[in-house]
Structure 1
């Protein structure tokens, strides 16, 4: 029995939002830029919604969505074949296969990193956010903070190491629980 349209819409939105970040990451590995990935993702969302009634088991949403995303990304690339920066379809198929196989692991790593970033001291978080802001320049950030660029780099390096260690610990704990 097909759920009423409002329930179907709600179910779709819940599933799409739960997997959107992983889908975007997947598409991002196949196309040259973030803007291109967002363009492809718009097409993916439309197709997923249009064909949502074909999905009979919600637990199969992720692999189904990844399949749609793969085909949409490949179609986007095929349409832009004239661009010399686009990978050959065989290379893209290999990348897509690898990313699909690793998607769950990447998602676990992303969640672990997000958890660890949340545990940073406010000053460390501020430094990290500033360093990874679009267009950020370490020399300018260091000058704003009244530090030398080298001390800024060292502080950022220590934060990165702490995040790496924390992420590895969280992943190891999840593996044994």
Structure 2
């Protein structure tokens, strides 16, 4: 590190919450690839989130969150599988490991495709709409601030946000379908 660079700031509790919420769907999909039903996924996610929270200070940076979280979640899923195995309706550990490895590889590629489509679609919106779409992911009541500065009610902004999100989702879906063909 050169003397002019500041040392990286440690991640905070709000960073953990933001990263966990950002990656929760990917984590759920990953857990579902190993577990036979959604109740087991919910339990594994809950247990993994507690462990992640306790060990969050060990994480070096935001970029490593998802792989780090998947390692923790994988162990929780394998533990859940051991408990569920008593029912005698689960696959072997080797098969589950192979499924998890394949799901992780596919998911990483798919996430990159979705991010690319999302970035491309976001650029099609005018800057005020881009700001509104990103506002819920900012800290400190950005939607409220935007509503007040625009002279509208917060409720009106959330309705507009819902319509913009739908347009964004449609655009992303369309881009992904075009790439698949």
TM category, shorter:
0.5 to 0.7
Q: 1:168 aligns with which of 149, 158, 177?
A: 177
TM-align CA RMSD: 3.1
Q: Distance in 1 between matches of 2:52 and 2:95?
A: 25
Q: Secondary structure at the match of 2:87?
A: coil
* Match 1:79 to one of 73, 78, 83: 83
Which has the larger displacement, 80-89 or 91-100?
80-89
1:118 aligned to which of 144, 166, 171: 166
Question: What's 2:62 paired with?
Answer: 58
CA distance in 1, matches of 2:69, 2:13: 16
Using structure 1 for the length normalisation, give the TM-score: 0.60
**Deviation for aligned residue 1:3:** 5.7
1:1-177 correspondence to structure 2 within 5 Å: 8-107=12-111, 118-119=166-167, 167-169=176-178, 171=179
TM-score, with structure 2 as normaliser: 0.59
How far apart are residue 36 of structure 1 and its match? 1.0
Structure 2 unpaired stretches of 5+: 1-6, 122-164
